[in-house]
Amino acid sequence: MRRMTQNSGVRVKGGEDEDDGENDYYGIVSEIIEARYLNQLRILLFKCNWRPVTNQRGSKRDSYGFTCVDLKRRCYTNEPFALAYQAHQVFYVKDIKNRQFEVVIKAQPRCSFNIPEDESTVPENSSSDDAYQEWYSGYSIEDLRQVPPRDDNENSVWGRNDVQPETISHDEVIASLQSQDEEESDGETIYTTDEDDENEFDNGIGF
């Protein structure tokens, strides 16, 4: 089976600066949990195996500026969860100079676009501090699995194979269109101009 993407890890920002990765957390997702609340609210949690990033034994920066982590070490075992919207996709590549470490490569998820949020669409009573009020994390695990397949040319295939096809005859389509035209004509209003009224009067049609 040919893999379309590689996603063996996640990164959670540890600071406000996007370019500063000194305080970021790196790990591998071991389980995805969906928590449901009242009023049909739900949120996804990633259970991760975190790697130490605070010392030279667990992480380092190479001469090219890439972050390298030791995937054999673990930390924060009592705090394994992260909110799904906080996680960024990364994958790890073996460091050819030091086999103990793996290089972190940041990636943009396929079919995902970094579109700025429209502040006008954010509810006034929303709060990003509380997990149960993350109104924009409304995707369930079933929704995440609905990824369109791709053909040999990396094009999305939108045909569905999980449902039986429905055949519609040509006569049914024509009959439906004719029925719509008749309904529109029954309610049609005919407008006349003053010139039309004068012609009808001259021809003896008017009153």
CA gap 54, 144 in Å, rounded: 33
Whole-prediction pTM:
0.48
pLDDT digit string (tens) for the chain, length 207 residues? 555 555 668 888 876 555 555 678 888 888 889 888 877 788 889 998 888 766 556 777 887 788 888 877 777 778 888 888 888 888 888 888 887 888 888 877 666 666 666 555 555 555 544 454 444 444 555 555 555 566 666 566 666 677 777 777 878 878 877 877 676 665 554 545 555 555 554 555 444
What type of residue sits at position 140? Answer: S
Name 150's Cβ contacts closer than 8 Å, sequence gap at least 6. Answer: 4, 156, 157
CA gap 78, 50 in Å, rounded: 10
CA end-to-end span of the chain, whole Å? 84
For residue 93, the tally of other CB atoms under 10 A from its CB is 13
